[in-house]
């Protein structure tokens, strides 16, 4: 148990340090913007065929109020059915306090990509870009779903179906933010790294609490 939890703690620290390193690069190394512009141009060229309404639907799926609360209800019902009351609290706190990423956005204060990259009819929620809030929040919620779904599904097919579905959805959200031109590549990666830190910390706490039973 101690060895397993040490591995989870190490992963949490590594993800946190990687996020800090990337945030420092974005803040202190202006040349990274040239790299981001190059990637954004080419990603938008490669995925030019994707209808913008599809990209917008994927991008905003989790942020639809009905979808959001249906997802929360299903997750909490799964935990309640398996008597993981600590998991309910851990998920609730992880989701509730996830908005701290906005403080990081304000601290880094990185401007959004130039208007020339912005898809027609798309209006970003804020002027700051790093990290991507959509990528971060979707990765936190679906990362928790992947973990608990894998933990409680009653056969391997269901376990891996849930994990693969969650990973693909989170990746599509990040890709959609690039197609829409509202974020740079490093914004999306930053969102994933920060979400990885939050989810791995939540898993560490869940594992520690449940191993004490």
Active site residues per annotation: 134, 183
The burial of 15, by beta-carbon neighbours within 10 Å (0-12 exposed, 13-18 middle, 19 or more buried), is given as buried
What three-state secondary structure class fits 110? coil
Q: Name the β-bridge partners of 111.
A: 128
The sign of the dihedral angle between the CA atoms of 168, 172, 175, 179 is: positive
Q: Running DSSP on this structure, what letter comes out for residue 50?
A: S
Judge whether 200 and 144 are in contact, CB under 8 Å. no
What three-state secondary structure class fits 128? strand
- Omega within 30 of 0 (cis) for the link into 131: yes
Q: How far apart are CA 109 and CA 128, in angstroms?
A: 5
């Amino acid at each position: 148990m101690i060895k397993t939890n040490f591995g989870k703690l190490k992963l949490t620290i590594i993800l946190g340090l990687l996020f800090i390193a990337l945030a420092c690069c974005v803040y202190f190394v202006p040349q990274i913007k040239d790299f981001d512009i190059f990637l954004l141009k080419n990603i938008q060229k490669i995925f030019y065929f994707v209808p913008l309404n599809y990209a917008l639907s994927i991008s905003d799926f989790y942020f639809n109020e009905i979808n959001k609360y249906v997802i929360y209800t299903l997750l909490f019902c799964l935990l309640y059915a398996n008597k993981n009351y600590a998991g309910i609290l851990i998920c609730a706190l992880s989701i509730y306090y996830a908005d701290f990423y906005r403080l990081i956005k304000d601290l880094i204060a990185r401007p959004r990509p130039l208007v020339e990259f912005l898809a027609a009819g798309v209006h970003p929620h804020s002027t700051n870009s790093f990290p991507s809030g959509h990528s971060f929040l979707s990765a936190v919620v679906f990362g928790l779903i992947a973990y608990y779904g894998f933990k409680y599904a009653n056969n391997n097919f269901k376990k891996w179906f849930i994990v693969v579905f969650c990973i693909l959805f989170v990746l599509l959200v990040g890709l959609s933010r690039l197609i829409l031109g509202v974020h740079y590549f490093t914004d999306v990666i930053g969102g994933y790294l920060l979400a990885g830190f939050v989810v791995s910390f939540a898993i560490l706490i869940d594992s520690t609490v449940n191993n004490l039973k």
